[in-house]
Amino acid sequence: MSDFLIAPSILSADFARLGTEVDNVLEAGADVVHFDVMDNHYVPNLTIGPGVCAALRKYGITAPIDVHLMVQPVDDLIRMFIDAGASYITFHPEASGHIDRSLQLIRDGGCKAGLVFNPATGLHYMDHVMDKLDMILLMSVNPGFGGQSFIPGTLDKLREARKRINASGKDIRLEIDGGVKVENIREIAAAGADMFVAGSAIFNTEDYARTIQSMREELAR
């Protein structure tokens, strides 16, 4: 695995052929499977739950699964995704009544824990829980749908988050989610991200390997 992780969001995959799609995107060079969970309550859309995560594990997927919870409340689903074979679990701080407890729950289950920041959510939520974070995920679109455009102001926020991570001296991934594509991945990396979710930019292309390779070439430039 390179230091930059590419995490295709299966939200844009063909759900009727999900196992094959995940196989294909991993063979194409993806590092991590990004798994978007929406509840039509925290966000205005409804997707997939722990049963689908468990089914992917049963099918034979061994790559890390990065579960992005866009649900409220969070703790019951955290428990279920731990049992379903998640590797990373992230949630939105506004959706948890007890952020520290939810992070601890994830870590106690043997998963890596992270907080997700919507475009208008302040980074202060990380201040008192740095010790419990393995990842920080910045949304560069408002959550709920794939295929939206990257919000440019996120670049400044990435730089600020990168500063805070570096100042902490901790090994915390900085993930970006929303509107990431070959054309902008380089400037997003330059602003501090080291893990890149891309849904439509990968699954809406014919040749996943070629798209992921183009992203890696941009990252290496």
Q: Which residues are annotated as catalytic?
A: 36, 177
- The residue range among 84-92, 128-136, 145-153, 205-213 that interacts with ligand DX5, by the rule CB under 6 A, is 145-153
Which residues between 71 and 130 bind ligand DX5 (CB under 6 A)? none
In the region spanning residues 45 to 74, those forming contacts with ligand DX5, defined by CB under 6 A, are 68
Which residue from 66, 175, 177, 194 is in contact with ligand DX5, where contact means CB under 6 A?
A: 177
CB 141 within 8 A of CB 128: no
Residue 138 interacts with ligand DX5 (CB under 6 A)? Answer: no
Please report how close the Cβ of residue 162 comes to ligand DX5 at its closest, in angstroms: 20
Pattern of binders to ligand DX5 over 20-39, x per CB under 6 A?
--------------x-x---
Tokens standing for residue 134: 């393995």
Rounded to an integer, what distance in angstroms lies between the CA atom of residue 116 and that of residue 93?
7
How many residues make up the chain in this entry? Answer: 221
Q: How many other C-beta atoms are found inside a 10 Å radius of the C-beta of residue 29?
A: 17
Region binding ligand DX5 by CB under 6 A among candidate stretches 24-32, 119-127, 137-145, 209-217 = 137-145
114 is in an annotated binding site: no
Give Cβ neighbours of residue 207 (< 8 Å, ≥ 6 apart): 28
Q: How far apart are CA 176 and CA 138, in angstroms?
A: 5
CA distance 33 to 131: 25
Binding site residues, ligand DX5, CB under 6 A? 9, 11-12, 34, 36, 68, 141, 143-144, 146-148, 177-180, 197-201
